[in-house]
């Protein structure tokens, strides 16, 4: 059996996706281990979750760096210091610069609460789906590239918009999907089962 893939999970908020990955990694057959949780801010619930799981936490404060290149280098240096082989963005609200993609090629994941390429952007995707009158939205997990929310898509799952939904009720159903889909994709990455050819990502069968 291959050794578990050490991952750094990057967070900025409540960390429910982090929790889903931590819970999955507590299972014996899982293929990834969270070696560090990196945040761009302190005093967020995600850091409590990491501490409760006994995972080290590092805060890389944007204001200590002030530009994307230096901030990105600092985040990657922390990940390297903990031996991470991949970066898993889970509600991380900063955009990483190109050097992160060079240091972790095809090893940076992001989760987005819409069916990309619909409703890209960091924070309003669920509200934008409602405002647009979309009947279906969903979840996308993709590789991170220099273009925001435009990297090769690994997995998507639809969520039906119900009459009377508001952003909170719709986001709650989106998150139910996220908490199942993201740990599954991280497991596939850990099994080295994701093959990227141009924009297309193939999942190899579980061996």
Interface ranges with ligand GRF (CB under 6 A) = 13-17, 90-91, 111-113, 175, 178
Q: Is 112 a catalytic residue?
A: yes
* CB closer to ligand GRF out of 21 and 79: 21
> Which residue's CB atom is positioned nearest to ligand GRF?
91
**Residue 18 C-beta: closest distance to ligand GRF, Å:** 6
**Residue 62 C-beta: closest distance to ligand GRF, Å:** 17
**Residue 181 C-beta: closest distance to ligand GRF, Å:** 10
Contacting residues for 132 by C-beta, under 8 A, at least 6 apart = 119
**Secondary structure, 3-state, the chain:** CCCCEEEEEEECCCCHHHHHHHHHHCCCCCCEEEEEEEECCCCCHHHHHHHHCCCCEEECCHHHCCCHHHHHHHHHHHHHHCCCCEEEECCCCCCCCHHHHHHCCCCEEEEECCCCCCCCCCCCHHHHHHHHCCCEEEEEEEECCCCCCCCCEEEEEEEECCCCCCHHHHHHHHHHHHHHHHHHHHHHHHCCCEEEECCEEEECCCC
**Residue 205 C-beta: closest distance to ligand GRF, Å:** 27
Catalytic residue among 112, 142, 171, 179: 112
Catalytic residues: 112
């Amino acid at each position: 059996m291959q050794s578990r893939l050490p991952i750094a999970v990057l967070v900025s908020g409540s960390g429910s996706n982090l929790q889903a990955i931590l819970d999955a990694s507590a299972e014996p057959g899982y293929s990834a281990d969270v070696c560090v949780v990196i945040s761009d801010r302190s005093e967020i619930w995600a850091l409590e979750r990491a501490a409760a799981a006994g995972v080290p936490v590092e805060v890389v404060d944007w204001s200590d760096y002030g530009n994307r290149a230096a901030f990105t280098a600092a985040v990657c240096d922390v990940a390297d210091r903990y031996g991470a082989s991949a970066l898993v963005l889970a509600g991380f609200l900063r955009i990483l610069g190109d050097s992160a993609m060079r240091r972790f090629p095809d090893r940076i994941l992001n989760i987005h609460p819409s069916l990309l390429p619909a409703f890209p952007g960091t924070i309003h995707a669920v509200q934008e789906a409602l405002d647009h009158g979309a009947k279906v939205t969903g979840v996308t997990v993709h590789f991170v590239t220099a273009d925001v929310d435009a990297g090769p898509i690994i997995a998507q799952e639809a969520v039906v918009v119900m009459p009377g939904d508001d952003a909170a009720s719709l986001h709650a159903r989106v998150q139910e999907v996220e908490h199942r889909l993201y740990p599954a994709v991280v497991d596939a990455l850990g099994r080295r089962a994701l093959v990227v050819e141009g924009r297309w990502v193939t999942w190899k069968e579980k061996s």
